[in-house]
């Protein structure tokens, strides 16, 4: 009589998903906290979610602009707030995904798995909308060639969030009923 093994191949999708979630969280922390949300960080240009510094020819240095000046330059206060909410909200929602995934997998609960899938999908939507909204406001000063590692990290995190959303739909956890049925089948087979 064969005893069921505690670690089987059915855990591999969960491990892969959790590794990807950890990579996404690391990329978001890198771009939004370590790089302070700066998408372009050059000696003559620093543009990010909290920094807006342009080169001033007269002073020969970077001149950072705050909100009355930003609105005159065409960057609306509400638009920038929504962009910040999108990208930083994506980080917060992604932080909730690993625990939801682990609980859903251990209990075999489809509802909790769908909640984790929802966290990842909503994170993807928030990150994409916040990043595109921000870029639409600053595109006259920033070109694709000027964007730095912070932007690259956010773009990679976005791609991985889409991949994670698909993976959580394709590899749902087995429910308790399916596990019991497979366990009974393996005992009967032995």
Q: For 16-54, write each residue's pLDDT tens digit.
A: 899 999 999 999 999 999 998 899 988 888 999 998 888
CA of residue 140 relative to chain centroid, distance: 26
Beta bridge partners of 76: none
- Is 184 contained in some domain? no
- Tally of domains in the chain: 1
Q: Is there a domain that residue 85 lies in?
A: yes
**Inside any domain, residue 3:** no
Strands 38-42 and 45-48: antiparallel
Q: Could you tell me if residue 156 is inside a domain?
A: yes
Residue 114 belongs to some domain of the structure: yes
State residue 154's pLDDT score. 95
Where residue 62 falls among pLDDT bands split at 50, 70, 90? Answer: confident
Three-state secondary-structure class, residue 105? helix
Residue span of the structural domain in which 146 resides:
24-37+76-176
* Three-state SS letters, 108-142: CCHHHHHHHHHHHHHHHHHHHHHHHHHHHHHCCCC
In a domain, 185, yes or no: no
Res 190: pLDDT? 56
CA dihedral sign of residues 97, 103, 105, 109 = negative
42 assigned to some structural domain = no
Is residue 54 a part of any domain in this protein? no
């Amino acid at each position: 009589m064969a005893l069921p093994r505690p670690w089987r191949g059915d855990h591999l999708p969960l491990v892969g998903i959790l590794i990807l979630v950890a990579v996404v969280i690391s990329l978001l922390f890198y771009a939004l906290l370590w790089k302070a949300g700066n998408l372009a960080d050059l000696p003559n240009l620093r543009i990010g979610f909290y920094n807006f510094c342009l080169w001033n020819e007269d002073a020969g240095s970077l001149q950072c602009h705050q909100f009355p000046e930003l609105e005159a330059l065409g960057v609306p206060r509400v638009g920038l707030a929504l962009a910040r909410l999108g990208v930083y909200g994506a980080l917060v929602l992604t932080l909730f995904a690993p625990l939801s995934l682990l609980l859903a997998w251990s209990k075999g609960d489809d509802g909790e798995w769908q909640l984790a899938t929802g966290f990842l999908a909503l994170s993807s939507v928030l990150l994409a909308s916040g990043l595109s909204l921000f870029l639409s406001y600053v595109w006259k000063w920033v070109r694709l060639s000027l964007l730095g590692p912070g932007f690259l990290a956010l773009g990679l995190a976005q791609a991985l969030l889409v991949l994670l959303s698909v993976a959580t739909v394709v590899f749902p956890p087995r429910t308790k009923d399916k596990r019991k049925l497979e366990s009974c089948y393996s005992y009967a087979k032995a």
